[in-house]
Structure 1
Amino acid sequence: MTLNTQREGKETLRRRASTPIPSSHQQGPREGEPPSDPRHPPLGQSASYHPGDKSIHSRAHWSSDSEESESSASECLYRVVLLGDHAVGKSSLANIFAGIQEKDAHKHLGEDTYERTLTVDGEETTLIVMDTWETEKQEDDEKWVQDYCMQVGNAYVIVYSITDRSSFESASELRIQLRRIRQAENIPIILVGNKSDLVRCREVAVEEGRACAVVFDCKFIETSASLHHNVHELFEGVVRQIRLRRDSKETNERRRSFYRRKESFTKKARRFLDRLVAKNNKKMALKVRSKSCHDLAVL
């Protein structure tokens, strides 16, 4: 996996900082009516990209050691909303996504929306990561902003700290809220246990995170923003989860074969044995499902 920040003409990284809430939502969205913002297009549409536009290919690219695909010309833009309690590491994850070094983070205070093009499995997809969920910064009469966040995402990353059990419980509540608000939509949701490097301070076990993901039917991964552990894998996994829900079975199978060619022999053998055992044992099937909840390349 490589992070390529070289761009033609040394163009600066496109970043959407502190994207203002549209005036049509200043009084909050109407009940039962999802917010509409021309700058934030619906799933699968882009407000800034048009077929044949060469400029988009000069942005920073986050590559997963994949070759270029003919479908890159039909690139789409999707919004990924970060949810979670204060101080669980949402901004750190967003900064890594945006390519902001820790020593330069103070220069970007107030920026909360970032756009980047990722090359995953040979195809390009542009993500807008929104770090706009912060309850402590909002007054009671501005709580509608959180409702807005709950409705505009094409994918959601719910973050908790493994060193703070209350943040884990809040993450479970957020998953319930999403299920209630977006229950008719098949949107990707990934539960993220951040700060995995703080082993001695751990309050939430890995098994608890996986079990929660199985119960709430979402994906799970542990990350360490300070060590950049699994952060690239997280956002590439978001792209894969969006594609699995958006595209045809044949297209996804082609991508899956591309992805599996890079897997180790041991991982392939384990996957085969798990599938074989699960086919003949319902109890083992649930266990296998629990094990697969952290595989962001499958539904």
Structure 2
Amino acid sequence: MPKKAKQNLPLHKVIMVGSGGVGKSALTLQYMYGDFVEEYDPTKADSYRKKVVLDGQECQIDILDTAGQEEYAAIRDNYYRSGEGFLCVFSVCEHESFEHTQEFRDQIGRVLDDETVPFILVGNKVDLEHLRRVSSNEATALAAEWNCPYVETSAKTRQNVEQVYTQLMRKIHVRKETLQRNEAKSKKGKCLIL
């Protein structure tokens, strides 16, 4: 019986995007297991699932940690189609990774053709303040342009790690409820002739 109950839990599919080396895997591992991994090992694509409590309700989060390297760009489209929400990560210590967020945003927009998909811009590695190359103001301005939140995180110190995933899951949950309500309304007004 418990197995069936687990299958009925709401599932929120999160996709991690961003350039290589910005800390997507480090954020994911910190969120999933409370671990920080120092060494950088390029990801091809890893999937993680965990049961969590969101605003008092049990649910599951499914995180797809995608490859940031350019050679994997062609397979990203398939990953994006399965996503319900996106964390677009850059390193505050590397301006080029910040510039690349525009390409990820554009590619997601092109693949999904939907501007309302939950999306959060994430500036990671804020524990390395002395190496900062992207100001909070610059990132906040870009997020405002995209009409999405901007959150600064540190996978190392766990700063805002839990919060950024929770915030995205809330956005996904609200969007699903809105889509279900709209679908129910459109079905209500239709007449079926047999």
Greater RCO (CA < 8 Å, at least 6 residues apart): 2
Could you say which residue in structure 2 is the equivalent of 1:89?
A: 23
Q: Does 1:54 align with 2:9?
A: no
**Whose radius of gyration is greater, 1 or 2?**
1
Specify the SS of the correspondent of 2:66. Answer: coil
Output the CA distance in 2 between the equivalents of 1:103 and 1:84.
18
Partner of 1:284: none
1:54 maps to amino acid: P
Aligned to 2:192: none
The 1:143/1:248 distance shift into structure 2, 3 A limit, reads closer
**Alignment match of 1:77 (pick from 4, 8, 11):** 11
Compare the two structures and name the one with the higher strand fraction. 2
Matched with 1:217 is: 147
2:67 partner amino acid: W
CA apart distance, 1:77 = 1.3
Conserved in 2, the CA contact under 8 Å of 1:125 and 1:239?
A: no
What is the RMSD computed on CA atoms of the aligned residues? 2.8
Identity level (%): 29
Q: 1:190-233 CA distances to partner (integer Å, 9 max, x unpaired)?
A: 10000011111111111111111111122210000000000000
Normalising by structure 1, we get a TM-score of 0.54
Deviation at 1:133, TM superposition (A): 2.4
> Whole-Å Cα distance in 1 between the matches of residues 17 and 97 of structure 2?
11
1:80-159 matched pairs, under 5 angstroms: 80-99=14-33, 101-102=35-36, 112-135=46-69, 138=71, 143-159=73-89
Deviations 1:41-78 (A, max 9, x none): xxxxxxxxxxxx524878xxxxxxxxxxxxxx952112
Match of 1:40 in 2: none
Deviation at 1:151, TM superposition (A): 1.6
- 2:108 aligned with 1:178, yes or no? yes
Shift of 1:125: 1.9
The one of 168, 176, 184 aligned to 1:246: 176
Tell me, which stretches of 5 or more residues in structure 2 are unaligned? 182-194
- Determine if the alignment matches structure 1 residue 234 to structure 2 residue 164: yes
Q: Secondary structure at the match of 1:128?
A: strand
Contact 1:195 1:224 in 2 (8 A): yes
CA distance in 2, matches of 1:92, 1:103: 6
8 A Cα contact 1:95 1:105, kept in partner: no
1:119, distance to aligned residue in structure 2 (A): 0.4
| Runs of 4+ residues over 6 Å off in structure 1 | 103-106
Q: How big is the shift at 1:110?
A: 7.5
